[in-house]
Amino acid sequence: MLDFSILTNHLPEYGEGFLNTIKASVFALLGSFVLGTIIAVFRISGFKPLRLIGAAYVEFIRNIPILIVVLFFFLGLPSLGFKLDGFQAGTLGLTVYTAAFIAEAIRAGIQSVPAGQTEAARSSGMTYMQTMLHVVLPQAIKLVIPPLSNQFINLIKNSSVLTIVSGFDLMYFADIISSETYVTFSTYIFAAVFYLLLTLPLSFAALALEKRLARSA
């Protein structure tokens, strides 16, 4: 049933797609962590306009399909004068989309730190920034890690939308291989195995981490 010649004959294509999928996911993870943290801080800030911006971002992005975000960067931005190729537009789309989910995870983490601690830090002379950086965020991170690792898994899975904008990811090369060889079943089974190579270990690690944090709490 499985045609292994597909794998052996097309290893370079699978390999290139696999690397690009990892690249897009890692870039988007780093980017969405930074952007998500900023949005989270916006959402809990004492300044109302910032809070509104943060809330609008999270609610809007979380409720629309990722494909729209990616197509906006790929097809929409050029008409405003910025051009990104499929890989860049896809990675940026992933970043913007995932940031909304990460912002929510971080906000929940920050809000779980008792208000008394913030007040104590502020009254001992720390600025808002210092309180955030030295008191709140280090504690929040612990709570944020399990949902973050889940978001990373989602990111890897979602990165497959790059194929729609010709982003040279794993799914794109699977499409190319299957349309060249007319072998669909084996081509996508091997692609699935490559995805599982990334997501399954992460899944198990996230689970183990969650258990350990639950025990230590």
Q: Which is nearer to other proteins, 62 or 134 (CB)?
A: 62
Annotate 29-44 with b (16+ C-beta within 10 A) or e (fewer).
bebbbebbbebbbbbe
**Of the residues 120, 141, 192, 208, which one makes contact with other proteins according to CB under 8 A:** 192
Asked if 56 is part of the footprint of other proteins (rule: CB under 8 A), the reply reads no
**Of the residues 65, 114, 134, 211, which one makes contact with other proteins according to CB under 8 A:** 65
Q: What is the C-alpha separation between 136 and 102, in angstroms, rounded?
A: 17
Asked if 165 is part of the footprint of other proteins (rule: CB under 8 A), the reply reads yes
DSSP annotation of 113 reads S
**Of the residues 95, 140, 159, 190, which one makes contact with other proteins according to CB under 8 A:** 159
* Full DSSP string of 24-74: HHHHHHHHHHHHHHHHHHHHH-SSHHHHHHHHHHHHHHHTS-HHHHHHIII
Tell me the closest approach of the beta carbon of residue 177 to other proteins, in angstroms: 11
- Which residues make Cβ contacts (< 8 Å) with residue 14, sequence separation at least 6? 7, 170, 173, 174, 177, 190, 191, 194
The token duo for 19 is 């690397």
Asked if 76 is part of the footprint of other proteins (rule: CB under 8 A), the reply reads yes
Q: Which among 41-49, 58-66, 109-117, 133-141 is the span making contact with other proteins, rule CB under 8 A?
A: 58-66
Give the x-and-dash track for 79-108 against other proteins (CB under 8 A): xx--x-xx----------------------
Q: What is the C-alpha separation between 34 and 71, in angstroms, rounded?
A: 22
Asked if 135 is part of the footprint of other proteins (rule: CB under 8 A), the reply reads no
Q: What is the C-alpha separation between 94 and 27, in angstroms, rounded?
A: 9
Asked if 205 is part of the footprint of other proteins (rule: CB under 8 A), the reply reads no
Which residue shows structure tokens 């699977």? Answer: 174
Catalog residues that contact other proteins under the rule CB under 8 A: 1, 59-60, 62-68, 71-72, 74-76, 78-80, 83, 85-86, 153, 156-161, 163-166, 171-172, 174-176, 178-179, 182, 184-185, 187-189, 191-192, 195-196, 199-200, 203
